[in-house]
Amino acid sequence: MRKGNKYGTHRVIEPAGALPQAALKISNDMKIFDNEILIDVDYLNIDSASFTQLKEEARGDLEKIKRKIIDIVNNRGKMQNPVTGSGGMLIGVIERIGSKITGKIDLNEGERIATLVSLSLTPLQIDEILDIQPKIDRVKINGKAILFESGIFSKLPEDLDERLSLAVLDVAGAPAQIKKLVKRGDNILILGATGKSGLMCCYMAKKVVGKEGKVIGQARNKDRAKFLRNTNVCDEVIIADVINPFDVLKAIQDINNGKEVDISVNCLSIPNTEMTSILPVKDGGKVYFFSMATSFTKAALGAEGVGKDVEMIIGNGYTKNHAEIALNLIRESNKLKTIFLEKYMI
């Protein structure tokens, strides 16, 4: 069996010396190396920023979206949107485990897993796209994928439907990071609060801030605001245009006694919302960009331009025990579980 590098650099075709995520092209030859895991793939969950871009480019035409996904995978060897640079994650069955890691990991052939590393670095081969569910960014395929030795994964829990688990694990990093960043008494703004990551961030934040703090959720219209209020995961709900930073700032000040918030969290799937995240935060506060549509340049230079001394945090999709943290939120909240079942069990 061929010997591979822990981080998958043996799969990189171009440019030489790159890691798989940054590479323009990687090998999706499904003959595994000694430190790889071969997965028979059922579902891809394309990340929200990427799927939104694909849908807009195709003007909602599902056949065009299918062709674009296959074209990306054929050209790059992985599902990495060339516009957003982001990927997603997958669910599948373990088909084979490389000889170097057999017995060294808690995993056996035939077990069902969700990968917790991005599709933007995962060697992927698509034989056929069977279905696309645009409302939940999900793609059903016949295909195979490779998980590197360094790749993280979660076995699918027996007490939850796997489609529900996929929806939760797709954004598991967000609520786990909130648990680390937020403290009791904080005032926190969640942008994109009605989506998957937004709802879970609101729920986790409300647990942490306690009665002394405040969780403010942003919705784009009256219908979404009504939905969000009915979830009871926010203390306040604002309706504001996220492309207009001053609209959000004014809405925050109107309900927060003229003050800015301690922390803002960007869970949006559209670009050009960096300043919307930064402007409503007080000096010394924090801005957490979970959105994959974030531009580091716009965020850094924009904060400098308005004289905001804030700590800006990139939305690392991984933090210790993030899968279990996210799944436990669904287990403990019947309301959250019901919402996810209704929205993502299609």
Residue at 255: amino acid letter: I
Residue 323 token pair: 């899968």
Q: Which residues contact 151 (CB under 8 A, 6 or more apart)?
A: 8, 37, 115, 116, 117, 122
Q: Is there a domain that residue 82 lies in? A: yes
Q: Is there a domain that residue 78 lies in? A: yes
Per-residue pLDDT at 102: 84
CB-CB contact of 277 with 300 (8 Å): no
Q: Is there a domain that residue 66 lies in? A: yes
Last residue of a domain, one of 125, 156, 187: 156
Residue 203 token pair: 């729920």
Residues 152 and 177 in one domain: no
pTM assigned to the model: 0.82
Q: Is there a domain that residue 2 lies in? A: no
Q: Which residues of the chain carry a pLDDT beneath 50?
A: none
- Helical (H) or strand (E) element with 12: strand 12-14
Phi first, then psi: give them for residue 153, nearest 5 degrees. -155, 170
Query: How many whole angstroms separate alpha carbon 346 and alpha carbon 344?
Result: 6
CB-CB contact of 207 with 215 (8 Å): no
Query: Is residue 215 helix, strand or coil?
Result: strand
- Helical (H) or strand (E) element with 203: helix 196-209
Per-residue pLDDT at 345: 67
Phi-psi region of 72 (alpha: psi -120 to 50; beta: other; left: phi over 0): alpha
Residues 136 and 180 in one domain: no
Q: Is there a domain that residue 139 lies in? A: yes
Per-residue pLDDT at 70: 97
Longest Cα separation, the chain = 65
What CATH number did the domain enclosing 337 receive?
3.40.50.720
Residue 188 token pair: 């926190």
Residues 329 and 182 in one domain: yes
Question: What does the pLDDT look like over 234-277, one tens digit per residue?
Answer: 999 999 999 999 999 999 999 999 999 999 999 998 889 999 99
Residues 278 and 152 in one domain: no
Q: Is there a domain that residue 168 lies in? A: no
Total domain count, the chain:
2
Per-residue pLDDT at 167: 85
Residues 150 and 33 in one domain: yes
Residues 141 and 286 in one domain: no
CB-CB contact of 183 with 205 (8 Å): no
- Helical (H) or strand (E) element with 321: none
Domain that holds residue 22: 9-156
